[in-house]
Amino acid sequence: MGMTLIEKILANHSKQDVVKPGDITDVFMDVRAARDFGGANVVKNIVNNGLSLDDPSRTFFTFDCNPTGSDQKYAVNQQICRDYARDHGIKIYDIDAGIGTHLLIHEGLAYSGSTAVTTDSHANILGAVGAFGQGMGDQDIAAAWSNGKSWFKVPKSVKLNFTGEKPANVTAKDIVLNLLKQFGANTLLGYSVEFHGEAIDKLTLDERVTISSMGTEMGAIILLLTPNEEIMRFSELKAGRKLELVTADADANYDQVFDIDISKYIPRVSRPGAPHDTVDVAEVKKTKIDSAFIGSCTNGRIEDLRAAAGVLKGRQVAPGVVLKIVPSTDQVWNQALEEGLVQIFKNAGALLSNAGCAGCAAGQVGQNGQGEITISTGNRNFPGKQGKGEVYLASPAVAAASAVAGYITTPDDIPAEPMVFTPSEEKATEKKTARTAGGEAKDHPKVVEGRVWFIDEDNIDTDMIYHNRYLSITDIDEMGQYAFDNLKGYENFAKEAQAGDIVLVKKNFGSGSSRQQAVDCFIPLGVQAVVAESFGAIYERNAINAAFPIMSYDTLEGLELKHFDKIKVNFETGEISNLTNGKTVKGNPFSDVQMEIYLKGGIFS
């Protein structure tokens, strides 16, 4: 039996000739990178644990989240990284370079069959060139910098066979929004997903980047697209050498195979709050907008800017609407300048910023305010992700057309006169108070008992657990006060939590960003464990490596659980018992690796 693409890549970078789903193996990392906000914590972990660097030539910093350093804490974190880089011979892609994952492709560091890890949860964007990229938390990256490798559990693979011709009005963004409509946020949770078919072979690199960048939003480990001849030539040119094309074996075994008729795809928009809540653009047409954003790692490429310029040329952004455009890299910025796109944007009344992540990562531009409605080409519209307002996700052409119209529309339906604003009452700004909660480190018992917070929700992402506006905090003792303060209905969790509590949730807990803080914030509150039907892949790793107890279950049927019941969780057997009514169900016990790391107190102990 042959291997899938992910299995082939992981086997080639491990001591095993063959790997299969469920195997846990150490994987050599060709590239190990850290971004500006995560980088300072990586340095802290390296220094505090007395670790050395395996290979500085494979180790990088990328300053893309907030390249302007507009926040003082971001600026401090960047300087921490610069000082460490100078002392250890590490290359920095500094504030003038752009988004790290894109740079890895354009610098010839990521290519067919290669491996890379970064503190960016969208490192799986490297699937666009057939590479294995993974986002990790700060501890994971520090360990990879020191060891040159990282442990991975080989995922199952899904194969998507695309048939038919892609409609002319369907963009790469529409392709991934159609996929989100079909698969949602957790159907493909934990899978490696391979794309096949003639329509896929025809996709450009820019289109592939757009699609692969939203694998995280689908819950997938990675979306892998095997390079065509043109992309291999591009990678070889950037790498400066002949490269081997790594492909799945013809007799590879896939857990599931789906046949998809791409000719039935339509332009779609994600409604605020969830990337997978996608609808036909027609359903939200005429929705008044305050702002538009074109950029991010999903749609900041030159083809995206050309599509936007094609709509904006000779037109003006609607009165009262703000259009922000951020190229993904400095190379894209310069190309846009050479092609005259920058002048088109300026003539239309858009704000053009330096290359970077922009609003997606609460960076230099792109944030919206309370009550503001934004149409964005980003990959996420979780509550609070791009600010306090509401965010619709769309393609660059739809975002540009909407900015001109003053409401959501398509390029073929832009009105002669834009919609204008009418006076409205100012919305009050909601104020929240926070307190610092204390907690003490404990031993590592295999059985815990405590009051349960039963949060009956799927897809609680890391922004809901620990919002990105607190990412500059590196002291764990300060993190507890912000736990769940962006999860509707649980804003007072930190105030009401008691030492010994256990959190129990549903599917896909911890989806989204790679932030370690979404794990660490429970520790000072004294929360003993988080139990979920399933976890986001990066969150699961972060918790295991930090020795914070997480455990999954298949069903709660028969447990008859109520909020604040007292429960017992056995990490060794997987049993979950409701001590209030005497009911018990069987969950999934710790793996050997998880138990080993847990008992020794973390990956660094």
DSSP 220-261: -SEEEE---HHHHHHHHHHHTS--PPP---TTB--SEEEEEE
Beta-bridge partner residues of 246: none
Which DSSP letter does residue 283 get?
A: H
Write the pLDDT tens digit of every residue in 254-301.
999 999 999 999 999 999 999 999 999 999 999 999 999 999 989 999
Return the bridge partners of 270, or none.
Answer: 278, 393
For residue 273, what are its two tokens? 């709050």
* Contact indicator for 85, 103 with CB cutoff of 8 Å: no
Average pLDDT of span 394-412: 97
Residue 378 exposure: Cα atoms within 13 Å on the Cβ side = 33
Domain map (residue ranges) of the chain: 5-264, 269-413, 447-600
Q: Look up residue 585 and give its two tokens.
A: 């169900």
CB 487 within 8 A of CB 512: no
- What are the backbone dihedrals phi and psi of residue 402, each rounded to the nearest 5 degrees, phi first? -65, -35
- In the CATH scheme, what is the homologous superfamily, with its name and number, of domain 269-413? Aconitase, domain 3 (3.30.499.10)
pLDDT range class, residue 540, cuts 50, 70, 90: very high
Q: Which amino acid is located at 453 in the chain?
A: W
Torsion angle of C-alpha atoms 306, 307, 313, 319, degrees rounded to 10:
-120
| Degrees, nearest 5: CA angle 544-547-550 | 55
CATH number of 5-264: 3.30.499.10
Residue reference for tokens 């059985």: 447
> pLDDT of 303-338, one tens digit each?
999 999 999 999 999 999 999 999 999 999 999 999
Is 447-600 in CATH node 3.20.19.10? Answer: yes
Contact 392, 381 (CB under 8 A): yes
Q: Do 5-264 and 269-413 have matching folds?
A: yes
311-320 residue pLDDT tens = 999 999 999 9
- In this structure, the dihedral spanned by the alpha carbons of residues 291, 297, 299 and 300, taken in order and rounded to 10 degrees, is 80
Query: Could you tell me which residues come within 8 angstroms of residue 541 by beta carbon, excluding any fewer than 6 positions away?
Result: 136, 137, 140
Residue 603 and residue 383: Cα distance in Å, rounded? 32
392 to 163, 302, 385, 593: CA distances (angstroms)? 29, 22, 12, 40
Assess whether pLDDT exceeds 70 at residue 178: yes
What integer pLDDT is reported at residue 93 of this predicted model? 95
pLDDT digits (tens, 9 = 90+) for 140-171: 999 999 999 999 999 999 999 999 999 999 99
Tokens of 56: 């500085």
Residue from 309, 280, 325 nearest 411 by CA: 309
